[in-house]
Amino acid sequence: MTKYKQIRIALNNCGVIDPENIEDYIARDGYMALGKCITEMTPQDVIKEIKDSGLRGRGGGGFPAGLKWEIASKNHADQKYVVCNADEGDPGAFMDRSVLEGDPHAVLEAMAICGYSIGATKGLIYIRAEYPLAIKRLKIAIDQAREVGLLGKNIFGSKFDFDIELRYGAGAFVCGEETSLIHSMEGLRGEPTIKPPFPAEKGYLGKPTNVNNVETYASVPIIIRKGASWFNKIGTEKSKGTKVFALAGKVNNVGLVEVPMGTTLREVIFEIGGGIQNGKKFKAVQTGGPSGGCLTEKHLDTPIDFDNLVAAGSMMGSGGMIVMDEDNCMVSVAKFYLDFTVEESCGKCSPCRIGNKRLFELLERITKGQGTMDDLQRLRNMSNVIKDTSLCGLGQTSPNPVLSTLDNFYDEYLAHVKDHKCPAGECKDLMKYFIIAENCVGCTACARVCPVGAITGEKKEAHLINSETCIKCGACMERCKFDAIIIK
């Protein structure tokens, strides 16, 4: 078992079975877990098994799944719902999409198991409309499961009925937040409401609703089949099992990675990921998507689990992992994520609606060399207030990229503000192109390629770049054969 770093639980059937053929799934013990639950276990047994397994929500929060199910099971109502959150929205993350495309039945089976345990007969998958292939395969899977009687009435000859429908999201990031997701499914504006009440008390159409994400559900059938004690041996003390990451950025082997909790960032990036592209130097890794933070060299040997990442100033999130090298400007990275949250804020609460915009504007000023030391102070204060006062998880975490880069890369901010320089050379406004007179032979190649006529000089004499007109396109530098053009 120790031969490889990766163990595939959620991705167990991905890349192995034909997702459009239920027989492939059944051949790999598919629906055995559901059968076991319905025929051999009481709903309480199922909940106990999930609780004992230590499975925590894989969507970001890390709330114990079994506890969530238990709360929903204890709230009595004539109708309850099981909802699968497939509104994967972190930039660069595609774990859930891959599970739905590669192993849709695992999610259906898990939802039915959840339905059995909490007393729900209806399941809903909230999936973004931008996932057409996942939608297609889910539809096929649902049809096939209905056809053989694994969804529908009297499943496994019992009194348990369960069926699943799809609900499409329009791709708003905030709809990954569970109250927003429920409002969106109800046909209302996708914006959060204050919790409590939690969905487990008052969810979809006011009924008790259990919301988990795709990866959480995908881990459930194996837990039931192999037992809680098998699952909770994998991972760390407080974070059990495995986590799927979408490894992206400046790493050689980008792709999906599923590792046991407790694996270090170094193992993921340098062993599985094959290290940094082009032999460059590792600078930072961003985990947790727009809500997470940037971790540095000193965090590389931190074992990855829910609590360690939070302690390090980032979070697990849904599993996006973006690796950055020495060419990435960390102020620009923070700006990139802020741009995303500004775009995706629903606009309901003022700190998120306006505060994030103001953060973005400040970062933009800094990347243009217009920032002041006061601005850095304000950046921190505004970030703290937005975290402290926002209504939902989106606003409460949106300043994290700013705060973590301020903490870990303060020098880089200082360089932008005090020296008006971008050490990584990414901020165009802070770059200037120069011609080294000694190297220039006056071939005029650069002047001819300049699209704005910023380069002047006589033939066979050293040329000059007018930095006022220069648009920093870099065409001259690419053309120069004598290494006469440099960036300062």
Partner 1 sequence: MEKVKLTIDNKLIEVEKGTTIYKAAKQLGIDIPVLCYMNLEDLGIENKPGGCRICVVEVEGRRNLAPSCSTDCAEGMVVNTHSIRVINARRTVMEFILSDHPKDCLTCAKSGNCELQDMAVKLGIREIPGQEYAAMSTYKMDFSPSLIRELDKCIMCRRCEMMCNDFQTVGALSAFKRGFEAAVGPAFEMDIEDSTCTYCGQCVAVCPTGALTEKDHTREVINALSDPTKTVIVQTAPAVRAALGEEFGLKPGTLVTGKMVAALRRLGFNYVFDTDFAADLTIMEEGTELLGRLTKHLNGDKEVKLPILTSCCPAWVNFFEHNFPDMKEIPSTARSPQQMFGAIAKTYFADKIKVKREDLVVISIMPCLAKKYEAQRDEFKVDGNPDVDFSLSTRELAHLIKQANLDFKSLPDEDFDKPLGESTGAAVIFGVTGGVIEAAVRTAYELQTGKKLERVEFEQLRGMESIRKATIDFNGTPINIGIAHGLGNARKLLEDIKAGKSEFHAIEIMACPGGCIGGGGQPLHHSDSSILKARTKAIFAEDEAKVLRKSHENPYIIKLYEEFLGKPMSEKAHHLLHTHYFDKSGKIEIS
Partner 2 sequence: MTKIKTLADLVKLRDELQSKQALADSADNAESIIQIKVGMGTSGIASGAKAVIDFLVEALEKRNIEANVSQTGDMGYSYAEPTIEVKKPGKDPVVFGFVNVQKADEIIEKYIKRDELVEGIIPVNYHTIDN
Which residues bind to partner 2, rule: CB under 8 A? Answer: 1, 3-9, 11-23, 26-27, 29-32, 35-36, 38-39, 94, 97-98, 101-103, 131, 133-134, 144, 147-150, 156-157, 222, 225-226, 252-258, 272
Nearer Cβ to partner 1 (20/343): 343
Minimum distance from residue 382 beta carbon to partner 1 (Å)? 6
Give yes or no for residue 373 binding partner 1 (CB under 8 A).
Answer: no
Is the preceding omega at residue 451 within 30 degrees of 0, hence cis? no
Contact residue for partner 1 among 26, 354, 462, 470 (CB under 8 A): 354
CB of 132 to partner 2, least distance (A): 9
Binding segment toward partner 1, per CB under 8 A, in 43-51, 246-254, 379-387, 423-431: 379-387
Task: Enumerate the β-bridge partners of residue 324.
Answer: 284
Peptide bond into 199 cis (omega under 30): no
Restricting to residues 168-227, name those near partner 1 by CB under 8 A.
Answer: 172, 174, 189, 191, 193-194, 196
Going by C-alpha positions, the residue among 434, 363, 435 that lies closest to residue 405 is: 363
CA dist 208 and 328 (Å) reads: 46
| Residue 380 in the binding site for partner 1 (CB under 8 A) | no
Starting at the edge strand that comes first in sequence, how are the strands of the sheet with 242-249 ordered? 255-260, 242-249, 320-325, 282-287, 293-296
The stretch among 153-161, 207-215, 220-228, 380-388 that binds partner 1 (CB under 8 A) is 380-388
In whole angstroms, how far apart are CA 191 and each of 89, 90, 256, 393?
A: 15, 17, 30, 11
Stated length of the chain: 488
Dist CA 89 CA 107 (whole Å): 18
Give yes or no for a contact between 213 and 57, defined as CB atoms under 8 angstroms apart.
yes
Concatenated DSSP letters of 194-231 = -SSSPTTTS-GGGS-EEEEEHHHHHHHHHHHHH-HHHH
Q: Which C-beta is closer to partner 1: that of 310 or that of 414?
A: 310
**Cα–Cα distance, 187 to 189 (Å, whole number):** 7
Using DSSP bridges, classify how beta strands 242-249 and 320-325 pair: parallel, antiparallel or unpaired. Answer: parallel
**Minimum CB distance to partner 1 smaller for 337 or for 433:** 337
For partner 2, the closer CB: 20 or 461: 20
Name the residue nearer to partner 1 (CB basis): 48 or 378: 378
CB 241 within 8 A of CB 234: yes
Residue 234 or 329: which CB sits closer to partner 2? 234
Question: Whole-number minimum distance, CB 226 to partner 2, in Å?
Answer: 7
Dihedrals phi, psi of 328, to nearest 5 degrees: -90, 125
Q: Give SS3 for 254.
A: coil
Binding marks (x or -) toward partner 1, 381..410, rule CB under 8 A? xx--x-xxxxx----x--------------
90 interface partner picked from partner 2, partner 1, none, CB below 5 to 8 A per type: none
Residue 326, phi-psi category: left (phi > 0), alpha (psi -120 to 50), beta (remainder) = alpha
Closest approach of partner 2 to the CB of residue 15, in Å: 3
Max distance between CA atoms of the chain, in angstroms, equals 91
Nearer to partner 1 by Cβ, of 28 and 368: the residue is: 368
Out of 349, 363, 402, 485, the only residue in the binding site for partner 1 (CB under 8 A) is 349
Q: Which does 103 bind (CB under 5 to 8 A by kind): partner 2, partner 1, none?
A: partner 2
Kindly state whether residue 307 participates in binding partner 1, applying the rule CB under 8 A: no
Nearer to partner 1 among residue 199 and residue 423 (C-beta): 199
- 390 interacts with, out of partner 1, partner 2, none, CB within 5 to 8 A per kind: partner 1
Q: What is the DSSP pairing of strand 320-325 with strand 282-287? A: antiparallel
Q: Which residue(s) pair with 209 in the sheet?
A: 81
The alpha carbon of residue 87 and the mean position of all alpha carbons in its chain are separated, in whole angstroms, by 11
Binding of partner 1 at residue 310 (CB under 8 A)?
A: no
Q: Does residue 334 touch partner 1 according to CB under 8 A?
A: no
Task: Name the residues that contact partner 1, by CB under 8 A.
Answer: 172, 174, 189, 191, 193-194, 196, 342-351, 353-358, 361-362, 365, 375, 378, 381-382, 385, 387-391, 396
